[in-house]
């Protein structure tokens, strides 16, 4: 079950809001209600297996935090040993579920361990995200930014909270610890949350789902049967789909959290308006890029080390970024590809981009990102390069078009392309209540929400792309 679905909109969401409202005078009860509705949502969506893994992660990391706090108060050496041990357990658990089968397959195919076999594990829903939540919690305790002896209900509320649990944004405990202790019913924040949720539903249903058939059609066909036009339309469609799909989830997560009294940080800031890859990663999946910066890049030395070390640090970070997205060499290549352009921009491209017209820098960034999405979407590296060869006239291009979508698919693609360049004026949580009567965005999105619900009644639903990661 996804947020943009009829069961969630007409059952889970009202239940969540009613329970939250009824318990508003008692913060502990309010947190317990959120834990219960989160576990119900999770078992409804991921089944009992995912629920067991989530519960194990949650309680185990609470005790890890408690033990780490005790070790920290004794001496630094014990603190470091405890931190490494606890983080390693989290990472190994992620590797077991997400990467063990893939790693064994690589070793087997490479002739290194032909007798080694592994069973394909059922991937618990959202494991990549709540592993990062756990690791950031433990590291922040070791740094003295958190007290590991936190209230167990507050911690489990943070860890199990369903808005960000499955596909982010990656929320750190220190960002919400004050809200966990004392949440008040704020009409402005609630209105803002409602607006963001509605906006997310519309982006998902009317744009992402509508362009998905064009992208899917281009990538499931035999690459060599595609025309150059097919390849470009498919790549652009996927670029629009993944942005509106993932940013829609972030909008809904931020909105749901706001309605419950939490303030999540933004996860996207018009990434396709970037004029460099460096700027793109400051605007795309901000919670992930900032997490990797704070917990990987800076501990490696960041930009305070010799130049060659900076380049190595960037490669390490984006190798991990790619690998985090999935057990496939296409994701690794996509990560390294982005890291390479960040290095090139440091070496010479950055200076060059500062000297040329802005529309050319914008075109450069879009083209680099678009090629990257082909690597990301392809089933394997061979398909990715074959696809790119068709796009850039390096293979047979006299094929007739095979990717024929409905007029609504192409209309959604055009609207999606326009929206990433022209943002509607919005409002923030401090003036949301007043803006309801003055801001056309709220009225327009409310009307479109009705249309989205009608589409859900009569159309097929697509899962969120990032549920796979």
Q: Which distant-in-sequence residues (6+ apart) come within 8 Å of 453 by Cβ?
A: 6, 9
CB-CB contact of 420 with 269 (8 Å): no
CB-CB contact of 206 with 411 (8 Å): no
Q: Which distant-in-sequence residues (6+ apart) come within 8 Å of 395 by Cβ?
A: 224, 386, 389
CB-CB contact of 439 with 194 (8 Å): no
CB-CB contact of 342 with 384 (8 Å): no
**Token duo for residue 436:** 């309801």
Helix, strand, coil content of the chain in percent (nearest 5): 75, 0, 25
Estimate the crossing angle of helix 127-142 against helix 27-74, to 10 degrees: 50
Residue located via tokens 């496939």:
328
CB-CB contact of 214 with 408 (8 Å): no
- Which member of 133, 164, 285, 325 is catalytic? 325
The CA distance from 156 to 151, in Å, is: 9
The CA distance from 364 to 122, in Å, is: 40
Q: Is 164 a catalytic residue?
A: no
Q: How many CB atoms lie within 10 A of CB 454?
A: 11
Q: Which distant-in-sequence residues (6+ apart) come within 8 Å of 91 by Cβ?
A: 131, 135
Residue environment code for 276-294, b if the CB has 16+ CB neighbours within 10 A, otherwise e: bbbbbbebbbbbbbbbbeb
CB-CB contact of 235 with 407 (8 Å): no
The CA distance from 138 to 65, in Å, is: 6
Bond before 330 cis per omega within 30 degrees: no
Q: Where are the alpha helices (DSSP H) in 110-186?
A: 127-142, 152-160, 162-165, 173-181
The CA distance from 403 to 238, in Å, is: 13
Three-state SS at 78? helix
Q: What are phi and psi of 392, to 5 degrees?
A: -110, 30
Catalytic site positions: 325
């Amino acid at each position: 079950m996804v947020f943009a679905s009829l069961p969630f909109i007409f059952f889970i969401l009202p239940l969540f809001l009613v329970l939250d409202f009824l318990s508003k005078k008692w913060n502990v009860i309010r947190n317990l209600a959120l834990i219960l509705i989160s576990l119900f949502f999770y078992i409804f969506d991921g089944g009992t297996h995912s629920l067991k893994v989530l519960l194990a992660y949650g309680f185990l990391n609470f005790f890890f935090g408690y033990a780490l706090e005790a070790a920290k108060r004794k001496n630094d050496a014990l603190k470091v040993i405890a931190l490494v041990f606890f983080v390693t357990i989290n990472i190994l658990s992620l590797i077991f579920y997400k990467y063990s089968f893939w790693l064994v397959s690589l070793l087997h195919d490479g002739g290194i361990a032909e007798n080694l076999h592994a069973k394909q594990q059922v991937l618990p829903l959202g494991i990549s995200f709540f592993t990062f939540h756990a690791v950031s919690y433990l590291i922040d305790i070791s740094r003295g930014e958190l007290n590991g002896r936190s209230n167990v209900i507050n911690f489990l509320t943070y860890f199990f909270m369903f808005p960000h649990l499955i596909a982010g944004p990656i929320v750190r405990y220190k960002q919400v610890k004050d809200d966990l202790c004392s949440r008040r019913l704020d009409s402005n924040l609630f209105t803002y949350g409602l607006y963001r949720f509605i906006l997310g539903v519309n982006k998902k249903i009317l744009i992402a789902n509508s362009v998905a058939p064009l992208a899917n059609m281009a990538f499931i066909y035999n690459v060599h049967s595609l025309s150059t036009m097919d390849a470009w339309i498919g790549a652009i469609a996927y670029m629009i789909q993944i942005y509106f799909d993932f940013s829609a989830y972030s909008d809904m997560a931020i909105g749901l959290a706001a309605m419950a009294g939490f303030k999540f940080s933004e996860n996207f800031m018009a990434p396709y308006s970037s004029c460099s890859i460096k700027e793109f990663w400051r605007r795309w999946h901000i919670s992930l890029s900032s997490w990797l910066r704070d917990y990987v890049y800076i501990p490696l030395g960041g930009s305070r080390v010799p130049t060659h070390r900076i380049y190595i640090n960037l490669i390490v970070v984006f190798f991990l970024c790619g690998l985090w997205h999935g057990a496939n060499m296409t994701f690794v290549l996509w990560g390294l590809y982005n890291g390479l352009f960040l290095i090139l921009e440091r070496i010479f491209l950055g200076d060059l981009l500062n000297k040329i017209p802005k529309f050319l820098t914008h075109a450069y960034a879009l083209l680099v990102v678009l090629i990257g999405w082909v690597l990301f979407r392809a089933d394997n590296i061979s398909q990715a390069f074959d696809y790119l060869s068709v796009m850039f006239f390096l293979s047979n291009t006299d094929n007739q078009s095979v990717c024929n979508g409905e007029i609504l698919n192409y209309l959604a693609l055009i609207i999606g392309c326009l929206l990433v360049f022209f943002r509607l004026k919005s409002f923030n949580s401090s003036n949301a209540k007043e803006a309801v009567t003055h801001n056309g965005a709220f009225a327009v999105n409310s009307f479109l929400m009705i249309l989205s619900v009608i589409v859900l009644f009569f159309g097929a639903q697509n899962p969120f792309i990032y549920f796979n990661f």
